[in-house]
Amino acid sequence: MERIDAILARSSLRRREPSPTYNLFQREDKPDLYCAVPEDRAVPTFLRAGPWAFVGRITDAAALPGFQEEQARSGVRLNGFYLFMAHHSGFGIGARSSAPELCAA
């Protein structure tokens, strides 16, 4: 009788968790550098003091070019936050206010 080895594969149709809402911070001296922190997590101390500014929230992972949802999940799991470079191509952050939001430029 011939032995058959099975290879387990992840289903590409696995259920995806809904994308969390992230608080978005931008480095003032490096405007393409962002840090995303899930709303249900504490804001890291390096974001509270220094050249970082709160600029809005991401509710849709595709809202800002350069934001990679799977990498964000891994970064949050390991560090509690996700650092990334945004690739601005027609998108911008709305004016800073009490309720900033992402908008098309």
Residue scoring higher pLDDT (31 or 87): 31
- Predicted local distance difference test score (pLDDT) of residue 1: 59
Q: pLDDT tens across 69-86, in order?
A: 899 999 999 999 999 998
Which residue intervals of the chain are DSSP H helices? 45-48, 69-79
- Predicted local distance difference test score (pLDDT) of residue 18: 75
The domain locations on the chain are 22-104
Helix (H, G, I), strand (E, B) or coil at 75: helix
Q: Whose CA is closest to 84, among 32, 43, 46?
A: 32
- Predicted local distance difference test score (pLDDT) of residue 22: 95
User: Residue 16, class by beta-carbon neighbours within 10 Å (0-12 exposed, 13-18 middle, 19+ buried)?
Assistant: exposed
